[in-house]
Each structure stands twice: as structure tokens, then as C-alpha cells.
Structure 1
Amino acid sequence: MNEKLINENKSNFFAEANDLNHLKITKELDLGMMWFNLLMLLGGLYFVYRGLVEAEPLVYIGLIWCVVCLVFIIKLEIKRRRKGVIDYSIDRLENKITFPSNIYKRQTAIYNFESIKIDFKLKRVYQKREDEQHYLIYLFTNEITDDTFVKDWSFITWYMDKNRPLPPGDAFDEYRLQDFERRKAEGFPRPLYPSNIPTPEATPEQQEDREKIGGW
């Protein structure tokens, strides 16, 4: 983590991902599939026309073709209207993070945060599995800027390190004491993820307790 990359407020990373990425991609897929089915429907109508003019069997082929295309168009529209908002979530205590399992579905897949690897240049999210290979699980569009992507992911990494104090931000203030007491009861274990910036406790007294009990 880099101090300049830490967001002072609650991260809007997943809000942007939801608005700019998932819905944008699915909208593009929807439009692409819709145009494809409309073109196929026109092809069916062409067969109907040719059948009426030249040969009767082509009429039936065209009608069947049109019916199939209309069924796909109706199903696509129903699916688009039911799609709704995709939920991303991060669980600090369980060390879990969720991403959509497929950019075209609402279902989400749950991953251990420590297995997640990020390609900041390409804005891609990978999972490192037991075979030591990295598997692409998600990617973000260019509407999310490089600065936002790196800054907010750094913020998320800080938040997901349950052995550190909660990151800056009014949204976390009411939970700081409870989180401190939890870490104190656990003996102030050392951070899970490396950082090149200090992450002190909220008060000098709490910092003194951490140094005395945890040694850091």
C-alpha cells in the first residue's frame, strides 16, 4: 500500500464497478445479442418472402425460423429486465470477497482474499489456486481510471487486513473501539499483508497497548 493511494473516505470501488463495469458490459452483450436475433429474424422473413414468391416449403422454414428468433428475443428482454444490480461484498473478519461468477448473471462467487491477485495495468482480477496458476475471474472497463483502481484497491487491502486498525473514514468510526478490543483479545497478531505506511491505533493509549502486547 502507498500512502498517496489510500482513499480518506469509504471506498466507492465496488459502486463504480457495479455502475460502470458489470452493467455496462451486460448492456453491451444484451444489445449485441438483440441485434443478432433481429438480423436472424429478418433472415426468416426473407425465407417467408421467397417461399411466397417461388417455393412453398420455404414459407414453413421461414416461419419456424421467425418463431425461434422471436422466442430468443423475448427471453433476452425478460432476462435483461430481471437482471437488477450485482452485489459485490468484502468480509473483513472472514477474509472473503465476492465477484459475479459471470458477467451475464446475478450469481456471485466467493473467494479467499489472500488468493486474489491484481494486474493493475490491465485492471484484471486473478485467483491463485492450489496448482499455483493464476486464473482470470474478473476484469474492469477503462471507465474506471488507473488512479481510482489502484487507490481504491489499496484501501480495500487495508480494510481486509483484520489485524490492522480500520482505515480512515467516518463510516468506520463507530466500529473502531469494538475492532480494537477484538484485536487486543487476540493478542494483536501481526498484519496479514505488507504495507509501507504506518497504520497506528486511534489513540496513543491504544497504540501503547498494541506495542506492549503485540510488539509492533
Structure 2
Amino acid sequence: MRVEYGGDPDLDESWLAGGWEPLLREWIEAATAAGIAEPNAMVLATVEITSAGPRPAARTVLCKGLSPEGVTFYTNYESGKGLQLAATPYAAATFVWPALHRQVGLRGPVSPVPPEVTAIYWRSRPRNSQLGAWASQQSRPIAGRDQLDRALAEVTRRFADVEQIPVPAGWGGFLLRPEQVEFWQGRRSRLHNRIRMTLDPGSTEPSAAKIERLQP
């Protein structure tokens, strides 16, 4: 079950001189070049408020936007994560590429993206994915797969003559603006490289961030 890490150059603080976003982008591109499936996948953790108190909730989503502002993902705002983020607009996201011995974790406040940003992304989605978003009341219980299939058939007929399917009400993007970003690189003897960047909330300039090396 154990894997020996190492081999590539050691992660260094200087790699973050240009900020967290260029290095994360470089690592996603390296994962893409290595043939890793869905290299933009990230585990998104939110907080669910229950009668017993706050509880963590995590699932894998796809990062669909990356900029110095943060990472963007899309969902139904009435889904589990959508409602959780409405109640507690803060989240953590982790990209993991085991084959490359790398991961990146971000955490920070989350807010909906403007409707025009959602519209641009929506138009880039395959038609079948658009129909699926209309058919599914995401995260709500359903009696069986056959009901879901019937819902899809119904919206397919509904939009059969519609060239541009509109964005469903309550569907859109979220932007996670990181307050902290940690880069992890596996190393021999479990003496891994961990470098954390803490950002100045009032600036996206790399020079305004604090960079620290953490013990593994």
C-alpha cells in the first residue's frame, strides 16, 4: 500500500514568486500532459448546519474557471452544496494528482458569479449536459432511475425546437476566493514539501502574500 515519493525537483518558495494561480495552472497542465483523467477535478468541502451542529460535507466537482481571483465551479443553487454555501459561504477545495505526488488545497469565502459569467459557461456546455441540468432537481430524493429518465425525455421534447437552451433558474457558478493556498509535494521518508501562501484579502498581488514552508 505504500508508494515511494520523489524524483522531480523539490518544490521551492521561489515557485510562488508569481502567485499561487500560475503554479496551480502549471500543475493542472502537467496532470493533463500526463494523461490523468479530469485533471481539473477537486474535492469541495462545505459546512452543513444541522440540529446537532455544523457538519462537514465533501464531494468532487470540476474546476471550470481559474484566475488570480480564485477557482470557479458550477451547480444547482438548490443542491446540497448550493444551500450549504448560501448558509455558510466558505469552503475548501483540494486538487489531488497521486500519480504526480502532488496536491493543492485552497480555502476561502465563496460567492455566486455574475449571471453573465454563468451564461458564457452555459453556452459552452454540450446540449446533453444542458438538458440534464434541466431534468435533475439536484440532491433531492427520487423514487427510481426510471423517473429521472422520464424527466430527461420530457425536457428533451420541450426543447426539441429550441436552438439555444436557456440557463435554468437557480443554476450557476460559484467563485472560491482563496485566503490560503497550500502546495504539497510527496518526498522520500515522508518528509514531504509543504508551502503555504496566505493572501492579503485586499490584494491579488503576490508580493502582498505571506509564504511559509510547513513541516510535513
Same fold (TM over 0.5): no
Higher helix share: 1
Higher strand share: 2
TM-score normalised according to structure 1 size: 0.23
Q: Which has the larger radius of gyration?
A: 1
